């Protein structure tokens, strides 16, 4: 079918979010559970906005895994690519919320089911139908998931999908910053759309601010769009022919968990529908205003997935 189809690959886990903000994980009086995992968040963000979306990943055959699969379904995400692992548990992460709504993570990986997806378990039909194939970097940290992701990327590309990469760097999970940087740059060179945060671009360019020239040093021939998110300030965009900034939308942020994923989901949903936005600056700015609004709304509510908006909420904020 000719319908745009976004396929997102990677981890879906449970986030434990502290019941109060501004404390470390150790100081938190308690946690509430919320579904999370960047690629799953992005898939659900795109689906809530009316996109045709599938998620590919592995869950534990435990209560959390069943709950997460239900959340994909409830949000209209195609879950035919979801596999359950009989031995490993669903991944968990403990989130710390700073007073400004910024967050940090601690992970349960022993290993967790999401790292155990095998190439033989890939749903090739979904991958071959993808308009955009999206992935992160946590699934690159360990085998067998790393090889599975590399294989899926290759199939998607061969079948004509655009590859979309959000490194979503969690440095502490990697053996060393050097190892992380090397592998991320390897994936980077194969990707057509990349979204990074300002902190990530600073890490990759070895600078302490976002410098356009340094960012352009990361350019490569496959790349069609590079996005750098700037928190409340919005985002920068870079293409072969034009670059600029789209300002963020002022809201009262209480929890930024999932803002980047909401931004990515919104951007993918729009670009899958109309790829001419990759060449047309006015169209691209329209897409990014929409994505900024989607990210902004997500910061005004607790948790990642529960905070993701539907299209009407985004349009309402844009018209205000």
Q: Which stretch binds ligand ADP (CB under 6 A): 128-136, 149-157, 290-298, 312-320?
A: 290-298
The stretch near ligand ADP (CB under 6 A) out of 56-64, 114-122, 152-160, 248-256 is 248-256
Stretch that binds ligand ADP, among 71-79, 106-114, 232-240, 312-320 (CB under 6 A): 232-240
140 touches ligand ADP by CB under 6 A: no
Binding flag, residue 271, ligand ADP (CB under 6 A):
no
- Residue closer to ligand ADP, measured from CB, 112 or 256: 256
Cα–Cα distance measured from residue 270 to residue 261, given in angstroms and rounded to the nearest whole number? 14
318: nearest Cα among 254, 265, 266: 266
- In the numeric block, which tokens belong to residue 232? 């409340």
Q: Which residue has the tokens 């356009």?
A: 212
Tell me the C-alpha distance between 36 and 16, whole Å.
9
Judged by CB under 6 A, the residue of 229, 267, 277, 303 near ligand ADP is 229
Whole-angstrom Cα distance, residue 231 to residue 235?
8
- Contact segment (CB under 6 A) with ligand ADP among 39-47, 237-245, 258-266, 276-284 equals 258-266
145 near ligand ADP, rule: CB under 6 A: no
Q: What's the closest the beta carbon of residue 260 comes to ligand ADP, in angstroms?
A: 2
* Residues between 195 and 224 with contacts to ligand ADP, criterion CB under 6 A: 197
Should residue 136 be labelled a site residue for ligand ADP when binding is judged by CB under 6 A? no
Residue selected from 232, 265, 303, 309 as contacting ligand ADP according to rule CB under 6 A: 232
Q: How far apart, in Å, are the Cα atoms of 269 and each of 93, 208, 228, 288, 291?
A: 27, 32, 18, 11, 10
Q: Contact 69/57 with Cβ under 8 angstroms?
A: no
- Note whether 37 binds ligand ADP by CB under 6 A: no
Element (H, E) at 133: strand 132-135
Asked whether the beta carbons of 119 and 146 are under 8 A apart, the reply is no
Helix (DSSP H) and strand (DSSP E) numbers for the chain: 10, 13
Helix (H, G, I), strand (E, B) or coil at 237: strand
Beta carbon of residue 251, minimum distance to ligand ADP (angstroms, whole number)? 5
Span of 27-35, 64-72, 185-193, 253-261 interacting with ligand ADP by CB under 6 A = 253-261
Please state at what angle helix 63-74 crosses helix 38-48, rounded to 10 degrees: 30
Would you state the structure tokens that stand for residue 1, as one six-digit string?
């079918």
Q: Binding of ligand ADP at residue 249 (CB under 6 A)?
A: yes
- Contact set with ligand ADP (CB under 6 A): 197, 229-232, 234-235, 248-249, 251, 253, 256, 259-260, 263, 292, 295-296, 299
């Amino acid at each position: 079918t000719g319908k745009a189809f976004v396929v997102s690959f990677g981890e879906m886990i449970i986030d434990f979010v502290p019941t109060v903000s501004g404390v470390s994980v150790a100081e938190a009086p308690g946690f509430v559970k919320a579904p999370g995992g960047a690629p799953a968040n992005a898939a659900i963000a795109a689906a809530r906005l009316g996109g045709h979306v599938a998620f590919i990943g592995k869950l534990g055959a435990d209560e959390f895994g069943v709950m997460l699969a239900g959340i994909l379904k409830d949000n209209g995400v195609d879950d035919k690519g979801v596999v359950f692992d009989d031995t490993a548990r669903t991944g968990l992460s403990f989130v710390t919320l700073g007073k400004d709504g910024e967050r940090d993570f601690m992970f349960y990986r022993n290993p967790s089911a999401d790292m155990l997806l095998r190439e033989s378990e890939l749903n090739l039909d979904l991958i071959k139908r993808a308009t955009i194939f999206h992935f992160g970097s946590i699934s690159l940290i360990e085998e067998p998931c790393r090889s599975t992701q590399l294989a899926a990327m290759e199939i998607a590309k061969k079948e004509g999908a655009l590859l979309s990469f959000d490194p979503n760097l969690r440095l502490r999970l990697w053996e060393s910053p050097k190892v992380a940087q090397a592998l991320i740059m390897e994936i980077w060179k194969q990707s057509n759309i990349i979204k990074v945060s300002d902190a990530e671009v600073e890490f990759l360019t070895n600078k302490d601010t976002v410098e356009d020239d340094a960012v352009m040093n990361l350019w490569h021939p496959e790349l069609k769009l590079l996005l750098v998110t700037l928190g409340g300030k919005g985002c920068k965009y870079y293409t072969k022919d034009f670059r600029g900034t789209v300002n963020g939308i002022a809201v009262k942020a209480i929890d930024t968990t999932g803002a980047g994923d909401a931004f990515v989901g919104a951007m993918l949903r729009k670009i899958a529908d109309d790829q001419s936005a990759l060449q047309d600056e006015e169209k691209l700015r329209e897409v990014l205003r929409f994505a900024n609004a989607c990210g902004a709304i997500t910061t005004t509510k607790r948790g990642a997935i529960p905070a993701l908006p539907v299209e009407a909420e985004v349009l309402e904020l844009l018209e205000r």
